[in-house]
Amino acid sequence: MPDRIETYRVGEECRLLDFLFASMPQRKRTNVKELLKHRQVAVGALPVTQFDHPLAPGDEVRVNLTREFRVFYHRRIKLVYEDDDIIVINKGYGLLSMGNDKVREGTAYSILREYVKWGNPRNKIFIVHRLDRDTSGLMVFAKNEKAKETLQHNWNNMVLERRYLAVTEGTPEPATGTYRSYLAENSAYEVYSTDKPDEGKLAVTRYTTLKSSNPYAMLQVELDTGRKNQIRVHMADMHCPISGDRRYGGHSNVIHRLALHAQTLRFVHPVTRREMSFSTPVPSSFERLLSCHKPLPKDEAPADKYDDFD
């Protein structure tokens, strides 16, 4: 049986059960309490059973009249937000955004596809943008073609802010600045910089050094363009490769992962046109890396195992 979901928007601060009583006056209070008890009420993406859960203006409350909401769990993905049109996740490193010629299953796309089909076998999921396999952080997926096409066709206008955190080997000079180059790709699928406009596509990266602790520095990075491997190549160009990035000149792999994380994502909702803003904490492994003061090793065996997110 497909889900039958009613959605309500919160107008002012209140408690969840009081809000449900006011929003569903046609239902007996005992029935409303049963819905809450049996995990049939969700605030945003997460089912809630706590009667006094605090609500803020703009929150979305969904009530499933058919059955309990499925609690999404996967060790490589954290569900950050979900509504009828989009899903926002925090993707773990080491996980492909979508399949390729060699890998079809076990990607962020395939995992979310199975999740949405639990509600209705006809449900679909659509990829909007990608993160490199070894980059962790925020991604948005569409749940219908209208949302997908709106986001993809207006990406540069609808995405208001994308910020990354990177831990580099060395501190760039100057500590804050903008780096521009044209990026091209060779036959080995390796991206490189060129000064020839007819050979590559313009890439613009803005960065700020947040803190440094020899031999590492933590940078906040913003993209004016979203080219493949853009941050990784530009950091290497500045002789400050990202820690763990052997493909683009990194020497160390102390935390056994690429030290690049998509931390902040702010965009216009493709259907409601509301501004959506999401941010994740600094990965704890990045903080540990900044406290490592030993000289960079010449080489180090790559990790063959991934922890969850840190």
Residues marked active site are found at 132
**Tokens (6 digits) for 238:** 């500045």
**Concatenated DSSP letters of the chain:** ----EEEEE--S-EEHHHHHHHH-TTS-HHHHHHHHHTT-EEETTEE---TT-EE-TT-EEEEESSSPPP---BTTEEEEEE-SSEEEEEEPTT--SS--SS--SSSHHHHHHHHHHHH-TT---EE-----TT-EEEEEEESSHHHHHHHHHTHHHHEEEEEEEEEEES--SSSEEEEEEEEEE-TTS-EEEES-TTTSEEEEEEEEEEEEETTEEEEEEEESS--TTHHHHHHHHTT-PBTT-GGGT----TTSS--EEEEEEEEE-TTT--EEEEE-PPPHHHHHHHT--SPPPS--PPPS---S--
**Tokens (6 digits) for 48:** 């809630």
Q: Do residues 267 and 150 lie in contact, with contact meaning Cβ atoms separated by under 8 Å?
A: no
Distance, CA of 82 to chain centre: 13
